[in-house]
Amino acid sequence: MIFDRSENLSRYMNRDDARRIYEFVSSVNRETPTGRHEIDGDRLFAFVSEYPTKTRNDAVLEAHNQYLDLHFLVYGEEKQEFYYRPEMTESVPYNSECEAALYCFPERKNELILRPGFFSLYFTDDAHAPQLAVGEPETVRKIVVKASAAVFENESL
């Protein structure tokens, strides 16, 4: 799991992929349609969404096998919890259609607050619960870039 400023993305991945992601994320605004947006076919694509943040009781703790998640906020703020997947108890087995497995929340919390200008990156060993309210629920606009795990394998930085 990585949490950093958006402009530092190239520290963690191939510079060309980081540039494409950063250019796409920088172009998203309130008028950008929600839904899937292509960046580089099935290697890199993004989902733009808008939703009200939730309480922990309504949240889902998930992990993915094929894609890494990069979360960026356009506006608003949300809390995200994150955990080491191999230590978690699975509640719903991996489903290839939604590319996720679900996990039980532990008592302890590891959390961060995501705001515009920052990103969180979750690898396949990271179970994560995004979309959590910071205080009272609020509507946020968010971009989740799905990056094939291969994007981060054997890349020259």
Is the predicted pLDDT of residue 154 greater than 60, yes or no?
no
Q: What is the pLDDT of residue 157?
A: 42
Cβ neighbours of residue 3 closer than 8 Å, sequence gap 6 or more: 112, 114, 118, 119, 120, 121
pLDDT tens figures, 78-137: 999 999 999 999 999 999 999 999 999 999 999 999 999 999 999 999 999 999 999 999
Strand partners, 147: 44, 68
Cβ neighbours of residue 40 closer than 8 Å, sequence gap 6 or more: 17, 20
Cβ neighbours of residue 97 closer than 8 Å, sequence gap 6 or more: none
SS3 state at 145: strand
What pTM, to 2 d.p., does this model score?
0.93
Residue 153 banded pLDDT, cuts 50, 70, 90: low
Instruction: Count the neighbouring beta carbons within 10 Å of the beta carbon of residue 2.
Output: 16
pLDDT tens figures, 32-63: 999 999 999 999 999 999 999 999 999 999 99
Alpha-carbon distances, residue 2 vs 55, 105, 108 (angstroms): 23, 20, 19
Q: Rounded CA gap, 4 and 29, in Å?
A: 21
CA nearest neighbour of 32 among 47, 21, 52, 42: 47
